[in-house]
């Protein structure tokens, strides 16, 4: 173990203690991560603070502002009334409607963008129905995140599939993933995750049906004229459509779309500058942007090589691919709670493929352990952008989040271990 690896371990330990005990505000703790990474020389200044220039973070700024204007229109009241009417006082129905809608949007765009855009509306739905925001936003973030990464070969998931096939190519095997291989693995697991959260949503006492009529008859005037409302609603939906298009075609970066429409919203006076800044979840921005450089630090410090040596020493003569896939799934699931799934792929993907080939195994099952395990990011808000926003928007404490998130991590890991070998054996 090198000095830099030891220092990084201390930083990770201190960060984890502060996050889970909440000795310090979570935003402050996250902000201190790049400070310490730069101060200790593990990263340069540009590397340590690169999270705040990350394209995902920049995209969020626009989405927050667009969502802030959209929720002030009377159109959102119509959506909330519709949800309430079809829910018929059932928290399970409300949860199902939201999970399905956000999964579809997430598959076409991204989970973080979907939650950032729709969270204000979801919070209003919780207020109307009497649902616990924590018991709606966290399931939505988790399910949407699962659906948006490799569940169907749509949008960015096509690039992810090509990325994983490149790992197979690099280790010298002729084996490749088919376009729907991850679909056969992940879609049944998505059904399990949805079923679990629907089960957990039971028992909430919602407002009576009279609340729907009360909402419908609410005569409070809108701050916008009918013409302005049409423009804002149009901006919202055109932004969603264009985000889908650019995500699939890569004509331009998605953040250019969101920032353009956010500028239109502010420029036309639908939100003033103060309201625009207030609509941005700064706690979420600090949490994600502050912890993003950890992936770079793990690679540049040599910690990834250190982890590799530990894995290889633990499994020197393994002959069972299911056991190795399980090990990588568990390892990826644990590590991804503190860094992005893309960083986990970059660290463990080549290792998994190389070890499987060297041991004479089909590397596709073992590599799938990394691909799936890294998306079981339900235990901490640092694991992915969507959980981070749900944490902030719903007002979680870290203990509450961990308490609600640890079991889905265990559940989905077990489902992967039981299901993936069966389906891949059937496919191959």
Tell me the pLDDT tens digit for each residue of 245-287. Answer: 886 677 888 889 889 999 999 999 999 988 888 888 787 788 7
275 alpha carbon, distance to own chain's centre:
26
Higher-scoring residue by pLDDT: 272, 318: 272
SS3 assignment, position 155: coil
The C-alpha atoms of residue 72 and residue 232 are separated, in whole angstroms, by: 10
Structure tokens at 70: 């959209």
Q: pLDDT confidence of 126, banded at 50, 70, 90?
A: confident
Q: What is residue 120's predicted lDDT score, i.e. its pLDDT?
A: 82
CB-based contact 85:211 (threshold 8 Å) = no
The residue-averaged pLDDT of 304-327 equals 75
Higher-scoring residue by pLDDT: 312, 406: 406
Q: What is residue 156's predicted lDDT score, i.e. its pLDDT?
A: 63
Q: pLDDT confidence of 384, banded at 50, 70, 90?
A: confident
Q: pLDDT confidence of 221, banded at 50, 70, 90?
A: low
Q: Tell which residue, 343, 414, 413, 407, has the closest CA to residue 139.
A: 407
Higher-scoring residue by pLDDT: 139, 24: 139
- Cα of first residue to Cα of last residue in the chain, in angstroms, is 40
The C-alpha atoms of residue 387 and residue 143 are separated, in whole angstroms, by: 10
Higher-scoring residue by pLDDT: 353, 35: 35
398-427 vs 321-335: helix crossing angle, rounded to 10: 150
Q: What is residue 217's predicted lDDT score, i.e. its pLDDT?
A: 52
CB-based contact 20:34 (threshold 8 Å) = no
CA–CA distances in Å: residue 162 to residues 104, 106, 157, 182, 375: 22, 20, 9, 12, 17
Judge whether residue 222 has pLDDT over 80: no
Higher-scoring residue by pLDDT: 351, 231: 231
CA–CA distances in Å: residue 61 to residues 154, 278, 399: 25, 11, 28
The residue-averaged pLDDT of 167-185 equals 86
Q: What is residue 312's predicted lDDT score, i.e. its pLDDT?
A: 67
Phi-psi sector, 88: left (phi>0), alpha (psi -120 to 50), beta = left
Q: What is residue 412's predicted lDDT score, i.e. its pLDDT?
A: 95
Instruction: Report pLDDT digits (tens) over 55-97.
Output: 878 887 888 888 888 878 877 667 777 777 777 778 888 899 8
The residue-averaged pLDDT of 206-222 equals 56
Q: What is residue 209's predicted lDDT score, i.e. its pLDDT?
A: 56
Q: What is residue 213's predicted lDDT score, i.e. its pLDDT?
A: 53
Of all residues in the chain, the percent with pLDDT exceeding 90 is: 24
The C-alpha atoms of residue 299 and residue 284 are separated, in whole angstroms, by: 24
The C-alpha atoms of residue 11 and residue 41 are separated, in whole angstroms, by: 12
Judge whether residue 195 has pLDDT over 60: yes
| Full-model pTM | 0.73
Tokens 């402050």 appear where? 28
The residue-averaged pLDDT of 373-382 equals 90
Phi-psi sector, 175: left (phi>0), alpha (psi -120 to 50), beta = beta
CB-based contact 190:147 (threshold 8 Å) = yes
SS3 assignment, position 371: helix
Averaged pLDDT score across all residues of the chain: 83
Q: What is residue 169's predicted lDDT score, i.e. its pLDDT?
A: 83
Judge whether residue 211 has pLDDT over 60: no
Judge whether residue 170 has pLDDT over 80: no
Q: pLDDT confidence of 128, banded at 50, 70, 90?
A: confident
The residue extents of the domains of the chain are: 3-427
Higher-scoring residue by pLDDT: 142, 111: 142
């Amino acid at each position: 173990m090198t000095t830099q690896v030891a220092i990084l371990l201390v930083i990770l330990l201190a960060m984890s203690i502060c996050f889970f005990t909440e000795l310090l505000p979570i935003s402050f703790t996250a902000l201190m991560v790049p400070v310490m990474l730069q101060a200790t020389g593990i990263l340069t200044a540009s590397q340590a603070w690169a999270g705040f220039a990350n394209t995902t973070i920049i995209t969020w700024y626009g989405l927050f502002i667009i969502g802030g204007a959209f929720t002030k229109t009377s159109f959102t009241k119509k959506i909330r009334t519709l949800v309430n009417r079809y829910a018929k006082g059932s928290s399970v129905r409300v949860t199902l409607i939201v999970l399905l809608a956000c999964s579809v949007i997430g598959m076409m765009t991204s989970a973080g963008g979907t939650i950032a855009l729709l969270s204000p509306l979801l919070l209003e739905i919780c207020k109307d129905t009497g649902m616990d925001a924590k018991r709606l936003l966290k399931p939505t973030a988790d399910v949407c995140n699962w659906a948006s990464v490799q569940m169907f070969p749509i949008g960015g998931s096509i690039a992810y599939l090509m990325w994983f096939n490149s790992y197979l190519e690099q280790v010298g095997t002729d084996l490749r993933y088919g376009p729907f291989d991850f679909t056969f693995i992940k879609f049944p697991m998505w059904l399990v995750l949805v079923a679990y959260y629907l089960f957990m949503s039971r028992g909430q006492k919602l407002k009576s049906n009279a609340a729907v009529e009360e909402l419908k008859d609410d005569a409070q005037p809108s701050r916008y004229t009918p013409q302005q409302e049409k423009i804002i609603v149009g901006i919202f939906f055109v932004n969603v459509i264009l985000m889908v298009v650019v995500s699939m075609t890569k004509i331009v970066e998605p953040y250019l779309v969101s920032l353009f429409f956010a500028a239109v919203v502010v420029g036309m006076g639908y939100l003033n500058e103060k309201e625009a800044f207030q609509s941005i979840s700064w706690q979420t921005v600090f949490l994600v942007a502050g912890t993003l450089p950890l992936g770079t630090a793990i690679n540049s410090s040599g910690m990834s090589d250190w982890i590799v040596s530990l894995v290889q020493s633990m499994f020197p003569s393994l002959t069972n691919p299911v056991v190795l896939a399980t090990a990588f799934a568990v390892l990826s699931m644990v590590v991804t709670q503190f860094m992005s799934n893309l960083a986990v792929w970059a660290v463990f993907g080549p290792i998994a493929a190389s070890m499987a080939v060297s041991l004479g195994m089909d590397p596709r099952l073992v590599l799938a352990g990394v691909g799936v395990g890294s998306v079981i990011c339900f235990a901490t808000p640092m694991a992915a952008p969507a959980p981070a926003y749900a944490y902030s928007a719903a007002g979680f404490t870290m203990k509450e989040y961990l308490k609600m998130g640890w079991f889905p991590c265990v559940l989905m890991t077990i489902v992967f271990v039981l299901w993936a070998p069966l389906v891949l054996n059937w496919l191959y």
